Amino acid sequence: MIHSLFLINASGDIFLEKHWKSVVSRSVCDYFFEAQERATEPENVPPVIPTPHHYLISVLRHHIYFVAVIQSEVPPLFVIEFLHRVVDTFQDYFGVCTEAAIKDNVVVVYELLEEMLDNGFPLATESNILKELIKPPTILRTMVNTITGSTNVGEQLPTGQLSVVPWRRTGVKYTNNEAYFDVVEEIDAIIDKSGSTITAEIQGVIDACVKLTGMPDLTLSFMNPRLLDDVSFHPCVRFKRWEAERILSFIPPDGNFRLLSYHVSSQNLVAIPVYVKHNITFREGSSQGRFDLTLGPKQTMGKAVESVLVSSQLPRGVLNANLNPSQGTYTFDPVTKLLTWDVGKINPQKLPSLKGTMSLQAGASKPDENPTINIQFKIQQMAISGLKVNRLDMYGEKYKPFKGIKYMTKAGKFQVRT
């Protein structure tokens, strides 16, 4: 099982270590540092690194490497999933998962890690149970603790661990009972030079924020459940009911949780909400290159495309770019060669464009690589797959909750080749 955990920052300092069994010397991280040196980019460090006596399995999140040390055959995905859970828990507790936040809350961090694993076996990884055991720090509580010398360790015992619904606390009470569901879809796509779609797929999630008194039993049904043929559920969802009736039936955890994630594959027809017209050219023998980019909406069902951000890694030979945006602002970093254009909202009547010239090193030959354009955007009130919730019902409790459903579409890895 998981022996130890090291947290390593971008400059290669180990700033926290935790051992669940015997202590493993931090010199084991030297193998990680070697791999880090070989990697051209921070994200290129391989996730599984063998050493003579251990294996290092790591994830990179928020510019911190979470490096787990294992000694025997342990499923790597098990370790990676656990590390993700650690990251999520830190974010949940401290709002952000940064080196500073972790250092500021080092006691809580240790308490959490101690509760999450016992001898390398996962113990309490559900946020609900952890929060019963260890209260998240607040400014007030930190002050009180400093004055009175008390700690964050909960007085209560985690009764949830004994129940048949371990994800839910007992005795939950709210004056305002509400249940919100966000259907969020990310569209991943590769568009080729000519504008045709090479591949496009949708990663969807339904995130919930449920604040309901007692032990509510919810059902959620869809207008078009047929879309959901590749789904992953929160453990609270009753799988049999879904198989038989295509209805989500569950006793929800208290607070925020991911109810469902789904995938609409490239074999289905996926609508592409934006198009790009581009003309990025270099001529042999000239020290100038042309840059011409125009964005436009398509297949958005009349909804506005907002928060548009375009970025592109220009060829290494480009010294500078002198461009003129019709709206928004652009920056070009001459060191990393990264061009970013913060477009904002697309107005279908007046399409945003970015035009101008790029200067090349004098006498250098024409760059070989064609830059890829990365686009981020958001569309409110629409799920691009067409998924729609039909109704949400509550059983087991008598009060009337307030219910709300929101839809949003975002760009995931949305890339246009030139």
Partner 1 sequence: MTDSKYFTTTKKGEIFELKAELNSDKKEKKKEAVKKVIASMTVGKDVSALFPDVVNCMQTDNLELKKLVYLYLMNYDCEDPNPLIRALAVRTMGCIRVDKITEYLCEPLRKCLKDEDPYVRKTAAVCVAKLHDINAQLVEDQGFLDTLKDLISDSNPMVVANAVAALSEIAESHPNSNLMDLNPQTINKLLTALNECTEWGQIFILDCLANYTPRDDRESQSICERVTPRLSHANSAVVLSAVKVLMKFMEMLPKDLDYYGTLLKKLAPPLVTLLSAEPELQYVALRNINLIVQRRPEILKHEMKVFFVKYNDPIYVKLEKLDIMIRLASQANIAQVLAELKEYATEVDVDFVRKAVRAIGRCAIKVEQSAERCVSTLLDLIQTKVNYVVQEAIVVIKDIFRKYPNKYESVIATLCENLDSLDEPEARAAMIWIVGEYAERIDNADELLESFLEGFHDESTQVQLQLLTAIVKLFLKKPTETQELVQQVLSLATQDSDNPDLRDRGYIYWRLLSTDPVAAKEVVLAEKPLISEETDLIEPTLLEELICHIGTLASVYHKPPSAFVEGSRGVQHKRLPGSTESGESESPDTASAAAVSDAPPAVIPSQGDLLGDLLNLDLTPPTTTGPPPPASSGMQMGAMDLLGGGLDSLIGAGFGAPPAAMPASFSAPVSGGLDDLFDLGGGVGMPMGAYSAPKTVWLPALKAKGLEISGTFARRSGVIQMEMTLTNKAMSVMTDFAIQFNRNSFGLAPAGPLQVLTPLSPNQSIEVTLPLNTVGPVMKMEPLNNLQIRAP
Binders in 71-100 for partner 1, by CB under 8 A: 71-78, 80-82, 84
Least distance to partner 1, CB of residue 295, Å: 19
Q: Which are the contacts of 193, defined by CB distance < 8 A and separation ≥ 6? A: 370, 417, 418
Q: Give the C-alpha separation, 267 to 90, whole Å.
A: 37
Give Cα separations from 266 to 108, 202, 227, 263, 418 (angstroms).
44, 8, 13, 9, 21
Least distance to partner 1, CB of residue 223, Å: 21
Place of tokens 């113990």: 123
Q: According to CB under 8 A, which residues from 282 to 321 bind partner 1?
A: 313, 316
Q: Pick the piece of the chain touching partner 1 (CB under 8 A) from 104-112, 170-178, 185-193, 387-395.
A: 185-193
Please, are residues 9 and 15 in contact by the beta-carbon 8 Å criterion? yes
Q: Which is nearer to partner 1, 53 or 173 (CB)?
A: 53
Q: Which of 11, 27, 37, 43 binds partner 1 (CB under 8 A)?
A: 43
Q: Which of 34, 178, 230, 333 binds partner 1 (CB under 8 A)?
A: 230
Least distance to partner 1, CB of residue 59, Å: 5
What are the E-state strand segments in 135-254?
A: 178-191, 197-211, 217-222, 231-233, 247-250
Q: Which of 199, 268, 320, 331 binds partner 1 (CB under 8 A)?
A: 199
Question: What are the structure tokens assigned to 352, written together?
Answer: 């945003």
Q: Which is nearer to partner 1, 122 or 136 (CB)?
A: 122
Q: Which are the contacts of 259, defined by CB distance < 8 A and separation ≥ 6? A: 181, 206, 207, 208, 220, 233, 234, 236, 237, 248, 250, 252
Q: According to CB under 8 A, which residues from 12 to 31 bind partner 1?
A: 21-22
Write the binding mask 357 to 376 for partner 1: x where contact by CB under 8 A, - elsewhere: -----------xxx-x-x--
Q: Which are the contacts of 351, defined by CB distance < 8 A and separation ≥ 6? A: 294, 295, 296, 326
Q: Give the C-alpha separation, 60 to 357, whole Å.
A: 37
Please, are residues 150 and 190 in contact by the beta-carbon 8 Å criterion? no
Q: According to CB under 8 A, which residues from 153 to 172 bind partner 1?
A: 157-159, 161-162, 164, 166
Q: Count residues binding partner 1 (CB under 8 A).
A: 73
203 binds partner 1 (CB under 8 A): yes
Please, are residues 116 and 122 in contact by the beta-carbon 8 Å criterion? yes
Write the binding mask 109 to 148 for partner 1: x where contact by CB under 8 A, - elsewhere: ---------xx-xx--x-----------------------
Write the binding mask 329 to 358 for partner 1: x where contact by CB under 8 A, - elsewhere: ------------------------------
According to DSSP, residue 278 is labeled E
Q: Which is nearer to partner 1, 212 or 416 (CB)?
A: 416
Please, are residues 153 and 134 in contact by the beta-carbon 8 Å criterion? yes
Write the binding mask 378 to 407 for partner 1: x where contact by CB under 8 A, - elsewhere: ------------------------------
